[in-house]
Amino acid sequence: MSESSAPLPVVDWLKLPEGDDPYMEGHKCTECGAIFLGERDNCSSCGSRGMMAATKLSNTGKLYAYSIVHRSFPGIEVPYVSAIVDLDGGGTVKGNLINIDPDPEKIQFDMPVEVVYKDALGRKDRDGNSYISYFFQPAA
């Protein structure tokens, strides 16, 4: 009945297949194996053209880098941890690391993390749509 239906992904490379688990989609160069987020036709690693193929990215990876953010836009709770994660099998993704204290003593480079998909902090757009985002958390 209503048109406000399923939540939307926050970025177009986050896929929400109906009746299946969400995943992130990358594009992999079939020449050199480099993986990028989002659609592209040409590989910026080896320069091949038209050799990119969509690939489902892993939901696990390792923490490559992070920063603890203490100041942000009004309404955004701080501190939070902004992280860059190297996914297992390829692909590098920036996102927030959650379910961990924003404390450098507790956060280790290369620590295993997993991707979780959930509501984008309750934010809605002007049409009332809610959004699904991805987050990282320490691997169980």
- CB nearer Zn ion, residue 89 or residue 112: 89
Residues from 38 through 57 that contact Zn ion (CB under 5 A): 43, 45-46, 48
- Give dist(CA 61, CA 86) in Å, integer: 5
Closest CA to 9 of 135, 97, 120, 128: 120
- Write the single-letter amino acid at 114: E
Q: How far is CA 96 from CA 27, 79, 83, 84, 109, in A?
A: 22, 11, 6, 8, 15
Q: How far is the CB of 134 from Zn ion (least distance, A)?
A: 25
Phi, psi at residue 13, to the nearest 5°?
-90, 5
Q: How far is the CB of 40 from Zn ion (least distance, A)?
A: 11
- CB nearer Zn ion, residue 42 or residue 72: 42
- CB nearer Zn ion, residue 43 or residue 113: 43
- CB nearer Zn ion, residue 25 or residue 31: 31
Q: How far is the CB of 47 from Zn ion (least distance, A)?
A: 7
The footprint of Zn ion on this chain (CB under 5 A) covers a number of residues equal to: 8
Beta-carbon contacts of 125 under 8 Å, excluding residues fewer than 6 positions away, are: 131
Residues from 19 through 38 that contact Zn ion (CB under 5 A): 29, 31-32, 34
Interface residue list for Zn ion (CB under 5 A): 29, 31-32, 34, 43, 45-46, 48
